[in-house]
Amino acid sequence: MSNKAKTNNFVVKIANVNGTGSASANGLLMKSIFRMGIPVTGKNFFPSNIQGLPTWYEIRVSKDGYLCRSGKVDFMIAMNAETYESDLADVSPGGFFLYDSTWARKGMMQRDDITVLGIPLSGMCNEAFESARAKVLMKNVAYVGALVALLNIDMGVVETLLNETFGSKPHLMEANMQAIKMGQTFALENFDCPLPLKLEPMDKTAGHVLVDGNTTAGLGAVYAGATVTSWYPITPSTSLIDAFSIFCKQLRVDPDTGKNNYCVIQAEDELAAIGMVLGANWNGARAFTATSGPGVSLMSEFLGLAYYAEIPAVLYDVQRVSPSTGMPTRTQQCDIISAAYASHGDTKHVLLFPADPTDCFHMSQQAFDLAEQLQTPVIVLTDLDIGMNDWMIPEIEWDDSYVPARGKVYDREALRNMDNFYRYLDVDGDAIPWRTLPGVDPKGAYFVRGSGHNKFGGYTEKSDEYKDVIDRLRRKFDTAASMVPAPVIDKATDAKANKQWAIVSIGSCDGAIREARDRLTASGIATLDYMRIRAFPFADDVANFILDYDHVFVVEQNRDAQLRQLLSNELSIDPNRLIPMLSYDGMPVSSDFIVDAVEEHIQQGRAA
Amino acid sequence: MSNKAKTNNFVVKIANVNGTGSASANGLLMKSIFRMGIPVTGKNFFPSNIQGLPTWYEIRVSKDGYLCRSGKVDFMIAMNAETYESDLADVSPGGFFLYDSTWARKGMMQRDDITVLGIPLSGMCNEAFESARAKVLMKNVAYVGALVALLNIDMGVVETLLNETFGSKPHLMEANMQAIKMGQTFALENFDCPLPLKLEPMDKTAGHVLVDGNTTAGLGAVYAGATVTSWYPITPSTSLIDAFSIFCKQLRVDPDTGKNNYCVIQAEDELAAIGMVLGANWNGARAFTATSGPGVSLMSEFLGLAYYAEIPAVLYDVQRVSPSTGMPTRTQQCDIISAAYASHGDTKHVLLFPADPTDCFHMSQQAFDLAEQLQTPVIVLTDLDIGMNDWMIPEIEWDDSYVPARGKVYDREALRNMDNFYRYLDVDGDAIPWRTLPGVDPKGAYFVRGSGHNKFGGYTEKSDEYKDVIDRLRRKFDTAASMVPAPVIDKATDAKANKQWAIVSIGSCDGAIREARDRLTASGIATLDYMRIRAFPFADDVANFILDYDHVFVVEQNRDAQLRQLLSNELSIDPNRLIPMLSYDGMPVSSDFIVDAVEEHIQQGRAA
Amino acid sequence: MSFIKKPKITHPGLPRNAAGLTLRDYEGAMSTLCAGCGHDSISSAIMQAYFELAIEPHRVAKVSGIGCSSKTPTYFLGGAHGFNSVHGRMPSIATGANAANRELQYIGVSGDGDSLSIGLGQFAHAIRRNVNMMYLIENNGVYGLTKGQFSASADRGSKAKKGEANPYSPIDPVLLAISLGCTFVGRGFSGDKEHLVPLIKSAISHSGFALLDIISPCVTFNDHEGSTKSYAHTRAHMRETVHADYTSVHEEIVSHVEPGEFKKIQMHDGSRVGFKRVDENFDPTDRIGAISYIESHRAKGEVVTGLLYLEESTSEMHHVLGSSETAMSELPYEKLNPGAQNLERIQARWR
Amino acid sequence: MSFIKKPKITHPGLPRNAAGLTLRDYEGAMSTLCAGCGHDSISSAIMQAYFELAIEPHRVAKVSGIGCSSKTPTYFLGGAHGFNSVHGRMPSIATGANAANRELQYIGVSGDGDSLSIGLGQFAHAIRRNVNMMYLIENNGVYGLTKGQFSASADRGSKAKKGEANPYSPIDPVLLAISLGCTFVGRGFSGDKEHLVPLIKSAISHSGFALLDIISPCVTFNDHEGSTKSYAHTRAHMRETVHADYTSVHEEIVSHVEPGEFKKIQMHDGSRVGFKRVDENFDPTDRIGAISYIESHRAKGEVVTGLLYLEESTSEMHHVLGSSETAMSELPYEKLNPGAQNLERIQARWR
Ligand SMILES: Cc1ncc(C[n+]2csc(CCOP(=O)(O)OP(=O)(O)O)c2C)c(N)n1
Ligand SMILES: Cc1ncc(C[n+]2csc(CCOP(=O)(O)OP(=O)(O)O)c2C)c(N)n1
Ligand code: SF4
Ligand code: SF4
Ligand SMILES: [Mg+2]
Ligand SMILES: [Mg+2]
């Protein structure tokens, strides 16, 4: 790539040890670039422990606004001697490798296709700072300083950011600035600054924000009118609940009474968490929980109850690498099947597939609306990549005229005006019955049960009565298909559109697919139409789209092609039409992966 | 049907109230017919409570040896006034309806296409017996007596059976005989005995036994060498563990020490039950548990651990009607998907599908052998119909030369002779690693974990190391497919075999399919080849069979066509080739259902 | 059980309570339990208590797990919403329901299997949160619905119907609850309605988690000789310590003070619970004392009954959480929506 | 933590125990916990105890749940098989493992989150079954691995790192265990290895379930001022009651009897545990007394440590079940196969 091409277009990856405070330095770096108007994203690869293990932060600067991993590393900041070797190997040819040269490192120079830069960061900081903690922390700030020079970061922006953070603590402000300057000075004095990878101000971030999806999902639940949450801590979902709690503390304390218009309960485990959510929804509150794979497994008995007894509930599953405990701090889309069919027996659940933090916000309202309208659990299948990484998204807009869709609930007056209330009757022919809330009127009283019940709500062990209800539940799923968000279909503008292949995917694959499509078109390999599915059950458009092509590539981040399975099974589509493209090593899927996979497939197809 | 046709060929159904002791009377009836050499089966439809609700027992007498429900009732013994109405409606035209005429029942005679017989059973027993309990119990024995006359049951056989039961309690023997005689005498005096439905001795039950599948499964586990079981009570699986315990008490107490060569632990819940099973298997014992749907949901987190950490385990899932608590005393095959993919993430389990109590016995050994050979959980998907109903099966044979296949376990000597032991290496190229048992040798020590691990058994968060193991696990499933029991394929003897349609099914549908095939052939509708799948993953023969036909009817007992889904997904078969035939009202599927469904489908096909 | 449905016609002469309702208005569907099951007596004591307290049935929410005991909420207070959840998980349903609407009354019905085995964790944590509810364990020492296996409350040595002796020591829900900080703990006997009704009324009036462990014989599987949860055994080994005497806010208090009463505690709702001391050595407001008393009598094979521990001063869950007085489910969306302006303010920090 | 791997070369001069092993032979992989984490000190006390007892590492099986604490079995006794199971469910793994092979020793490591929240039920039932194992709760009052949420052992009013006070009252594992009938209960402090090692040795020698609750500060999330599980707070509020002094079977007993010792209990394996009474008012063989002592000191904000309750006479799970002395996993198939003849005999009844 030419130097020109690398302006505002490269990946910086910082290798560090966790618990050494690198997060704030990396945030400073990200935000500086963002404030320079240049599109940027940050992905955090952290270990499942608290201190002392390798951690990486990958910043992609992309003038074209691509937010996914490209699959390349142009500049490695190697702060962790334990991973020097693999970090060195990770750098793409022509790239750069910066390390702490306080101690001489042998064998560092095996690669002659990259440029190695040594800065004695520890040495400088040990000298400059007193406290042990500062010596460690400031190393990180110092490499940011070096990058100011090496990448041509706007120093004014850096200063402003530091001021915003440390404005009230002048001694911290001073120390940080000192470290920045130290790094900057060393770089200016020793290297040819800026490097060919460099930044130039743009205006592409106006109207945008940098945020992770757990934050927007938590905030989205606040705006959806959720009042009760119960959860059990688990990576990577914990920060979603943290966000909800923090925003509630800011926005939901009654100014008159000082009392909370929300209720956050840390449960004793996931079974209790979902149980509380069901109890609260039954009783008329919008309630939700968040968890990850192991939690979904533990919740499955209760999810089956909610399906069968028709209790609304919202569950965010922030997916991580499975099976079992797996790699809790790595990403996958691996709970599609376990969520769609959670629980024994003939059970199905409504799923939403957000693609980014914007979706996490808006799908929160959709999830609660659908849960109450359909009287069933709605599972929002987000993932670690969306939930915990830093995404650049357009500012979220909010329409204050939003009114929660609470679905079919008879109030006191309606009850008084009717002869008899029966819980599970299909009054309106859409397979959705009416419900009532406890405490409203004795006439609304009914008995929720997970055991056999008939359409009146009575206990039954009679075959036909049981079947009547279970068949209506199946029909309710047809209604659901007509209500959930439709897929986003992106037809290639190219007139001679290719009807041989297209791409189908969900959620966080979106960014990588968009870039891959551009690259595939640009390289003349293929121009591919693309459908991003946003919900299960599948809207009609989903099958229509797929059947328009000889084959579709189903891109997803799990080993067993779970989306493909769901598509084939629920739409009766020949699985041979659905070509799996599976990235499941725990890293967010990269555009490289997709380009390579498509290219290989198409070339094989041509050869055959 | 002619009278002749009804000799040894009809269904008697007894409607009763549970807790009134009808079980022993019905057993007496069944066994009497069996001892007369006539093939017979009994199905028990009991409520999910202990006393006072309707219960039915359906006895099918079939000279041709059909063991399924036919879908008809020829003779209703109506002992429960609460269900008179529906019991009356249930009788097939031309059938009989016997009721307790102690109290006059109006509206009993609406049907003129059946014969109603009244016997004052309560009246007779109230007069004849002293104690309140005897008055209730003996009513049931008295209807058996009436049937002796009406159906022409061999009185000698009845007497022998009573002697075997009450030999040591002469007063009970006497009371029972008195009740039998009372019923018999009344019938002889008041009706034209025997009825057109009647019995004639045959010799078709020699070498056979009457038994339920939970009993044979529990016994099968004893013969498999299982030593540890932990379970939590749940209908309809409890009697499987009861059987294991009882047989162990009889067969596994060390004659020298009086100590138990087995360990039965009632767990505090299903999570603990499967946990104990994993702990015990890890430690080298053959251990198992049994449960039903809700238990599988609760076990799913641990099942994922066992899959990923490669721990053998055997789990019997005696399926019942779901979702949720559902109808605990009714049958379904509804946990196929939840068992095959139990747990979050990319998880798959080996399943066995027994069709009857014979399979329950032999598949117990297969399950333990496969679990240890493959080092993974094996789930035996049986159901309430197999597990709790009375089946006529050929006597089970046992080969004392059986040696449990314990799979790849390095012993002390092997360990001493190797340089290093690594738990998850694919040493033999079959994707099955070697394991070691605790306590044997320090060199065998390794750490079982559900978190990311590499092929050496070490903890990892590295993408390639993680993928290496998870990809081998996928390959292990290919090995599994080559080891599990092959399908039973029954080609129609008819030379001009039909390649348009065939039947594919699993488990307890077998009997109904066999009868339906005979009936379909006899009526000239279709002669259908038939494959009964016995295990998942699917052996090669499964796909080969299916692809031989334009379409196959997939007969199963659940709403969502779960077997069909598994076939399509795992074998990449076009779902449109697989025509679902779904019976899921909680009653064991009948041959009527299949005949009707096939006929309808074929006629539609012809019309189209 | 008979299959003839009871007519639901209210006799005009039936006594009415302050809410204008008769006892019939507190009935539910017909029981499907075994004739003589202890659980049915508890249901009738519950109806009596709510009738006497004149609480409108629809202001009560009934929750349960799975088991014969957990079926009973269908059989009382037909005008109340009910939730028959899954085995052992009723406490979480109750906690969530209570979080959503603190204005209703909650009655949780469970069994010894439901609460002490599969549900032990949830039971303990509901106590720890001091969820405002009455929690009944209908304790029969066995799993009734699954046909008579020992439960965790079965005493060591107690005999099963077929003669086998239970080898494990029991978990006593009363001791467990007190040691977990439960603020209202009592034990009753389904065969002793006279004492049970005031106990239930006191539990209802308690602010916080009120546990009643009620020995409730299973006539089908655990009422034989050798069982320590049979009617006969319980009658013979019951030791009443304190008889609770409930005085409602509305009643003239004086008329109900009886001689021999030694302590009177004002409940959160203004009503009073009086303790009539049966055993001089027992003080149900002394936590450590109560534990040792119960423990030492248990060691003697006695079953201590009555109101065993009461602490009215502590905070129930919503106090602890600082929740609004209005039920969450009643808050209008206008109070919940922070509005577009706030969203802008928040997003400003994300730049 | 440093990333440089320790060389596994045993220095020839290192002291060896009766099994001929050095302390290094009891080490495991390098810890990945935070520098200063209390859990690491416990691991080192465990190594020391096993070394002193001269138990061969491979005769021990290590099981744990999920959490920082539950990671530690990787860091000691590298020659022992280990099982890092799922969150809160270690007790069932241990119970099953023990059922399969009673001849090994079992050490279960758990955290306060792992045992007192998600795992409370399994913890309680392992106690009830008296599974023969040593069970350690590495108690830091928080969920370390998920970054510092309060656990159920956090004291009411204890402050989180960001200042928030915990509103719920704690579950004290020691009290809970004693009230559930646990037969060996002690409490230690990770910062006090001198007392911890003999406590661990005593627990190992106990036949049945031995619980050690070990206060183990989380330096990253719960070692600040205001925390009641910090090093400083624990040191200041610890009240040692009884100092356990372990005497192995092999040692000369007399030489170890010290003045001031008031009770000596013979353990199942023939070893002896001596109690050196620190507080005159305390008797660790008196169950009710122990409960009230611990309760009343807790009310004063004190953390009672030492060997708190011991009952050596009861039966562990296998005695209760009547299991064969040979491990289930060692029984040859010939002993398990009832043979074809028996099958015929059984089937005769099915005709
Ligand atoms: C998850 C699950 N496991 C097991 C069961 C089966 N089951 C139903 S009731 C019950 C025990 C009930 O015992 P208890 O709570 O004491 O109630 P009782 O019937 O004695 O009143 C069990 C184990 C179930 N319904 N769900
Ligand atoms: C089913 C499940 N839920 C949640 C988690 C996330 N999780 C991991 S460790 C932990 C808490 C650990 O706390 P504790 O047992 O006290 O151990 P510590 O880290 O404090 O030593 C949680 C909630 C999980 N791994 N599995
Ligand atoms: S089985 Fe026992 S607990 Fe259940 S209804 Fe009958 S008597 Fe009651
Ligand atoms: S977070 Fe706390 S408990 Fe975990 S390793 Fe660090 S100090 Fe120990
Ligand atoms: Mg019970
Ligand atoms: Mg902890």
Other CB atoms within 10 A of residue A299 CB: 34
Residues B94 and B234 in one domain: no
Domain assignment present for A407 = no
Choose among C203, C156, C171: nearest CA to C308: C203
**Average pLDDT, integer, range A300-310:** 98
- Please choose from D41, D75, D146, D218 the residue to mutate so as to test ligand 2's pocket, defined by most ligand atoms within 8 A of CB: D146
For B393-411, how does the pLDDT look when each residue is reduced to its tens digit (9 = 90+)?
Answer: 999 999 999 999 999 999 9
Inter-chain touch C81–A261, beta carbons under 8 Å = no
Domain assignment present for C56 = yes
Task: Quote the ligand 5 centre to C148 CA distance (angstroms).
Answer: 8
Residues D265 and D312 in one domain: no
Q: Give the model's pLDDT for residue D240.
A: 84
* Main-chain dihedrals φ then ψ at residue A457, nearest 5 degrees: 100, 0
* Main-chain dihedrals φ then ψ at residue A409, nearest 5 degrees: -125, 120
Buried b or exposed e, range D282-321, using 16+ CB within 10 angstroms: bbbeebbebbbbbbebbeeeebbbbbbbbbbeeebbbeeb
Residues C115 and C201 in one domain: yes
Domain assignment present for A293 = yes
CA-CA-CA-CA torsion sign (A364, A365, A370, A373): positive
Residues A25 and A148 in one domain: yes
R_g of chain B computed on alpha carbons: 27
Question: Which domain-ending residue is among A467, A483, A499?
Answer: A483
Residues B27 and B144 in one domain: yes
Tell me how far CA of residue B564 lies from CA of A347, A348, B487, in angstroms: 16, 16, 15
Q: Give the model's pLDDT for residue D257.
A: 44
D56-D57-D58-D59 Cα dihedral, nearest 10 degrees: 60
Residues A436 and A516 in one domain: no
Inter-chain touch B268–C152, beta carbons under 8 Å = yes
Looking up residue D50, the CATH number of its domain turns out to be: 3.40.50.970
Looking up residue B592, the CATH number of its domain turns out to be: 3.40.50.920
Token code pair at residue D137:
């709760």
Token code pair at residue A264:
């956050």
Residue B449: list chain A partners with CB under 8 A.
325
Residues C95 and C137 in one domain: yes
Inter-chain touch B287–D101, beta carbons under 8 Å = no
Q: Give the model's pLDDT for residue C256.
A: 45
Residues B474 and B551 in one domain: no
DSSP B485: P
Q: Give the model's pLDDT for residue D252.
A: 44
Other CB atoms within 10 A of residue D252 CB: 8
Domain assignment present for C11 = no
Q: Give the model's pLDDT for residue B111.
A: 87
Residues B500 and B476 in one domain: no
Domain assignment present for C225 = yes
Q: Give the model's pLDDT for residue A72.
A: 94
- Tell me how many helices (H) and strands (E) chain A has: 20, 21
Token code pair at residue D213:
């609750």
Q: Give the model's pLDDT for residue B110.
A: 77
Residue A107 has pLDDT above 70, yes or no: no
In total, how many domains does chain B have? 4
Q: Give the model's pLDDT for residue B329.
A: 97
Chain C residue with the nearest C-alpha to that of A256: C324
CA-CA-CA-CA torsion sign (B137, B138, B140, B141): positive
Domain assignment present for A578 = yes
The rounded percent of chain C whose pLDDT value lies above 70 is 92
Under a CB-based contact definition with an 8 Å cutoff, are residues B324 and A305 in contact? Answer: yes
DSSP A151: I
Domain assignment present for C6 = no
Residue B269: list chain C partners with CB under 8 A.
87-88, 117-118
- Please choose from D145, D171, D214 the residue to mutate so as to test ligand 2's pocket, defined by most ligand atoms within 8 A of CB: D145
Domain assignment present for B568 = yes
Q: Give the model's pLDDT for residue D314.
A: 73
Question: Which domain-ending residue is among B454, B483, B512?
Answer: B483
Domain assignment present for C336 = no
Structural domain of A563? 488-607
**Average pLDDT, integer, range B255-276:** 97
Residues C258 and C172 in one domain: no
Question: A333: distance to nearest CA of chain B, Å?
Answer: 8
Burial class (CB in 10 A: 0-12, 13-18, 19+), B606: exposed
Q: Where are the beta strands (DSSP E) in B294-359?
A: 313-319, 350-352
| Alpha-carbon span A307 to C348, nearest angstrom | 40
Tell me how far CA of residue A446 lies from CA of A283, B563, C78, in angstroms: 12, 36, 8
For A307-348, how does the pLDDT look when each residue is reduced to its tens digit (9 = 90+)?
Answer: 999 999 999 999 999 999 999 999 999 999 999 999 999 999
Residues D44 and D169 in one domain: yes
**Maximum Cα–Cα distance across chain D:** 76
DSSP per-residue letters across C282-349 = --TT-HHHHHHHHHHHHHTT-EEEEEEEE--SS--HHHHHTB-SS-GGG--HHHH--HHHHHHHHHHT
Residues C198 and C273 in one domain: no
Residues B307 and B439 in one domain: no
Beta strand B287-291 pairing with B228-231: parallel
D332 touching chain B per CB within 8 A? no
Choose among D172, B515, B495: nearest CA to B503: B515
Under a CB-based contact definition with an 8 Å cutoff, are residues B585 and A467 in contact? Answer: yes
Inter-chain touch C320–D129, beta carbons under 8 Å = no
Residue C4 has pLDDT above 80, yes or no: no
Domain assignment present for B555 = yes
Other CB atoms within 10 A of residue D22 CB: 16
Q: Give the model's pLDDT for residue D256.
A: 45
SS (H, E, C) D291-321: HHHHHHHHHCCCEEEEEEEECCCCCCHHHHH
B308 touching chain A per CB within 8 A? yes
| Ligand 3 contacts CB of residue C144 (under 6 A) | yes
Q: What is the ipTM of this complex?
A: 0.97
Mutate to test the interface with C, among A449, A454, A456, A460 (most CBs of C within 10 A): A449
Question: B157: distance to nearest CA of chain D, Å?
Answer: 12
D323 touching chain C per CB within 8 A? no
CA angle centred on B593, ends B64 and B117, rounded to 5°: 65
Inter-chain touch A50–D152, beta carbons under 8 Å = no
Question: A229: distance to nearest CA of chain C, Å?
Answer: 9
In total, how many domains does chain D have? 2
For A207-254, how does the pLDDT look when each residue is reduced to its tens digit (9 = 90+)?
Answer: 999 999 999 999 999 999 999 999 999 999 999 999 999 999 999 999
Buried b or exposed e, range A525-534, using 16+ CB within 10 angstroms: ebbbbbbbbb
Helices (H), B378-509: 384-388, 412-416, 463-483
Give chains near D: 3+ CB pairs under 8 A: A, B, C
CA of residue A436 relative to chain centroid, distance: 35
Tell me how far CA of residue A74 lies from CA of A8, A32, A93, A192, B345, in angstroms: 12, 19, 8, 17, 33
Residue C276 has pLDDT above 50, yes or no: yes
Q: Give the model's pLDDT for residue C336.
A: 98
**Average pLDDT, integer, range B533-542:** 97
First-to-final CA distance of chain C: 71
Residues D236 and D270 in one domain: no
For B120-175, how does the pLDDT look when each residue is reduced to its tens digit (9 = 90+)?
Answer: 999 999 999 999 999 999 999 999 999 999 999 999 999 999 999 998 899 999 99
Token code pair at residue B100:
């307790």
Residues C227 and C264 in one domain: no
Under a CB-based contact definition with an 8 Å cutoff, are residues C258 and C276 in contact? Answer: yes
Beta strand A488-490 pairing with A529-533: antiparallel
| Alpha-carbon span C304 to B150, nearest angstrom | 59
pLDDT band at A496 (very low <50, low <70, confident <90, very high): low
Residues A184 and A323 in one domain: no
CA angle centred on B584, ends B578 and B585, rounded to 5°: 155
Residues B437 and B531 in one domain: no
Axis-axis angle for helices C90-100, C120-129 (nearest 10): 30
* Main-chain dihedrals φ then ψ at residue A475, nearest 5 degrees: -65, -35
Ligand 4 pocket by C-beta < 6 Å: which residues? A 50-51; D 33-34, 37, 39, 68, 140, 144-145, 218-221
Domain assignment present for A587 = yes
Q: Give the model's pLDDT for residue D258.
A: 52
Q: Which element (helix H / strand E) includes A231? A: strand A228-231
DSSP D181: T
**Average pLDDT, integer, range C270-293:** 83
Question: Which domain-ending residue is among A462, A483, A504?
Answer: A483
Q: Is the peptide bond before B194 cis (omega within 30 degrees of 0)?
A: yes
**Average pLDDT, integer, range A129-134:** 92
Inter-chain touch D32–A53, beta carbons under 8 Å = yes
Q: Which element (helix H / strand E) includes C129? A: helix C120-129
Inter-chain touch D100–B277, beta carbons under 8 Å = no
Residues A222 and A360 in one domain: yes
Bridge partner list, B59:
B12, B42
- How many contacts, defined by CB atoms under 8 Å, are there between A and C? 222
Domain assignment present for C197 = yes
* Ligand 3 atom closest to the CA of C68, numbered from 1: 4
Domain assignment present for D55 = yes
Beta strand A54-62 pairing with A9-17: antiparallel
pLDDT band at C3 (very low <50, low <70, confident <90, very high): very low
| Alpha-carbon span A538 to D162, nearest angstrom | 45
Inter-chain touch D220–A53, beta carbons under 8 Å = no
Residue B1 has pLDDT above 90, yes or no: no
Q: Give the model's pLDDT for residue A111.
A: 87
Residues B390 and B522 in one domain: no
A 108-167 residues with CB < 8 A to B? none
Residue C201 has pLDDT above 90, yes or no: yes
Contacts of B140 (CB under 8 A, 6+ apart): B16, B20, B21, B22, B24, B25, B26, B79
For D257-314, how does the pLDDT look when each residue is reduced to its tens digit (9 = 90+)?
Answer: 454 555 677 887 778 787 776 777 788 889 989 999 999 899 899 999 999 999 987 7
Q: Give the model's pLDDT for residue B495.
A: 55
* Main-chain dihedrals φ then ψ at residue A488, nearest 5 degrees: -95, 115
| Alpha-carbon span A393 to D137, nearest angstrom | 45
| Alpha-carbon span B346 to A333, nearest angstrom | 10
Domain assignment present for C333 = no
For C332-342, how does the pLDDT look when each residue is reduced to its tens digit (9 = 90+)?
Answer: 999 999 999 99
Under a CB-based contact definition with an 8 Å cutoff, are residues B488 and B359 in contact? Answer: no
Q: Give the model's pLDDT for residue B497.
A: 67
Residues D261 and D289 in one domain: no
Choose among B89, B95, B213: nearest CA to B511: B213
For C102-157, how does the pLDDT look when each residue is reduced to its tens digit (9 = 90+)?
Answer: 999 999 999 999 999 999 999 999 999 999 999 999 999 999 999 999 999 999 99
Q: Which residue stretches of chain D have pLDDT < 70?
A: 1-11, 248-263, 277
First-to-final CA distance of chain B: 33
Q: Is the peptide bond before A201 cis (omega within 30 degrees of 0)?
A: no
Q: Give the model's pLDDT for residue B496.
A: 64
Inter-chain touch A284–C329, beta carbons under 8 Å = yes
Question: A338: distance to nearest CA of chain B, Å?
Answer: 5
User: D4 or B532, which is more confident?
Assistant: B532
* From B227, B260, B305, residue closest to D86, measured CB to CB: B305
Structural domain of C37? 23-243+281-319
Other CB atoms within 10 A of residue A564 CB: 27
Residue B213: list chain D partners with CB under 8 A.
none
Domain assignment present for B539 = yes
Choose among A113, A114, A200: nearest CA to A153: A200
Q: Where are the beta strands (DSSP E) in chain D?
A: 60-64, 81-84, 105-111, 133-139, 142-143, 149-150, 184-189, 209-215, 238-247, 261-266, 272-277, 303-310
Residues A442 and A377 in one domain: no
Domain assignment present for B407 = no
Looking up residue A121, the CATH number of its domain turns out to be: 3.40.920.10
Q: Give the model's pLDDT for residue B494.
A: 66
Residues D160 and D61 in one domain: yes
Residue A3 has pLDDT above 90, yes or no: no
Other CB atoms within 10 A of residue C262 CB: 11
Task: Quote the ligand 2 centre to D88 CA distance (angstroms).
Answer: 8
Give chains near B: 3+ CB pairs under 8 A: A, C, D
Choose among B47, B75, B80, B77: nearest CA to B60: B75
Residues C189 and C110 in one domain: yes
Residue B279 has pLDDT above 60, yes or no: yes
DSSP D249: T
Residues D115 and D259 in one domain: no
